[in-house]
């Protein structure tokens, strides 16, 4: 199908460069996993005051989480970068991070507020709707803002909910998991309503289950599978029907979503690692770095080398501070 991302031939084994050859290399993107046994028995939700975990914020290096994270800013100033989207850090801002997104903090000392952490499993093992999290407008968003400013009354309501959750974790009641799920559900629904009001976001029409399953498959297999027909076969629908559904739901074709995911990973690797352009190309299953460079420039508007140049300078500056 026209627009599909294709490649042919057997991938060539590439030679890895050494740190000496690269000079002073940037570290790989750090991945932070959820601390399941922080309180002893497994608990897949946590709530912390920002000022109590300064190292979580002070480390300005890019990193990704394997869990969901919502930051509620009481006091603070700066910028929060989430997959190349800058979000303001200011009082009454709520910042949303989904698993796998690469983020970076650039904030002034003294930020206060709460951070709510939880895994998908904490929700999906309890609710019948396995797609509940995917349908929230602020998670896994690619075309809508990743932050929300709420009014003072709403922020006070959220803070009350968070304090209740904090107290519940501290008390360690036998049935605390049920209470924590109830509080989390309230917070997520309130945020969804306020987000929809603030940005005019409404639930998309059409078969949402299909497009959400497609997005999950793309996330899992974008490095191996590039053909819309292949994804349509996995989903048990025709490629034309899948395209119609993605256009209705996301405003772009299925091949456009595949391409966006490939480009996002390419941008992450170019910005946050010191892999060569060829290594990035091979890692994303392009057998020709020159073709990858043309593909990248066509859709990003800059060559891979030009794209990463100002970012490298910014990284070097931040590490010298």
* Contacts for 61 with CB less than 8 Å, ≥ 6 apart: 27, 30, 104
Quick one: fold of 19-26+204-320? Arc Repressor Mutant, subunit A (1.10.10)
Q: Which of 62-66, 158-162, 295-299 has the lowest mean pLDDT?
A: 62-66
Task: Name the pTM for this structure.
Answer: 0.72
Map out the domains of the chain as residue ranges.
Answer: 19-26+204-320, 30-199
- Which one is the CATH code of 30-199: 3.40.50.300, 3.90.180.10, 3.20.20.70, 2.60.120.280? 2.60.120.280
Instruction: Give the pLDDT band of residue 22 (cuts 50, 70, 90).
Output: very low
3-state SS, residue 144: coil
- 131 or 161, greater pLDDT: 161
Beta strand spans in 41-174 (E): 45-49, 63-65, 68-75, 78-82, 85-89, 93-97, 102-107, 112-118, 147-149
User: Given the DSSP bridges, would you call strands 63-65 and 30-32 parallel, antiparallel or unpaired?
Assistant: parallel
- Model confidence pLDDT, tens digit, residues 282-304: 999 999 999 999 999 999 889 99
């Amino acid at each position: 199908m026209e627009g599909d991302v294709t490649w042919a031939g057997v991938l060539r084994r590439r030679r890895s460069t050494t740190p000496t050859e690269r000079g002073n290399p940037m570290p790989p993107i750090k991945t932070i996993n959820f601390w399941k046994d922080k309180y002893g028995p497994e608990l897949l939700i946590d709530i912390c005051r920002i000022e109590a975990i300064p190292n979580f914020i002070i480390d300005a290096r890019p990193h990704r989480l394997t869990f969901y994270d919502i930051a509620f800013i009481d006091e603070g100033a700066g910028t929060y970068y989430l997959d190349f989207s800058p979000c303001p850090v200011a009082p009454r801002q709520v910042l949303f991070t989904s698993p796998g997104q690469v983020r970076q903090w650039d904030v002034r000392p003294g930020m206060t507020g709460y951070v709510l952490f939880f895994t998908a499993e904490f929700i999906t093992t309890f609710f019948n709707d396995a797609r509940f999290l995917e349908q929230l407008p602020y998670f896994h968003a690619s075309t809508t803002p990743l932050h929300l400013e709420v009014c003072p009354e709403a922020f006070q309501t959220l803070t009350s909910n968070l304090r209740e959750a904090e107290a519940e974790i501290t008390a360690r009641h036998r049935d605390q998991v049920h209470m924590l799920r109830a509080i989390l559900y309230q917070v997520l629904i309130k945020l969804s309503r306020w987000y929809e009001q603030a940005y005019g976001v409404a639930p998309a029409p059409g078969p949402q289950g299909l497009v959400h399953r497609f997005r999950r498959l793309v996330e899992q297999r974008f490095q191996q599978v590039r053909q819309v027909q292949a994804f349509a076969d996995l989903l048990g629908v025709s490629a034309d029907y899948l395209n119609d559904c993605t256009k209705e739901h996301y405003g772009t074709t299925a091949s456009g979503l595949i391409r966006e995911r490939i480009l996002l990973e390419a941008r992450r690797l170019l910005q946050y690692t010191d892999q060569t352009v060829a290594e990035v190309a091979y890692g994303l299953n392009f057998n020709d770095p020159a073709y990858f460079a043309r593909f990248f420039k066509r859709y990003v508007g800059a060559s891979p080398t030009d794209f990463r140049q100002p970012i490298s300078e910014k990284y070097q500056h931040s590490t010298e501070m």
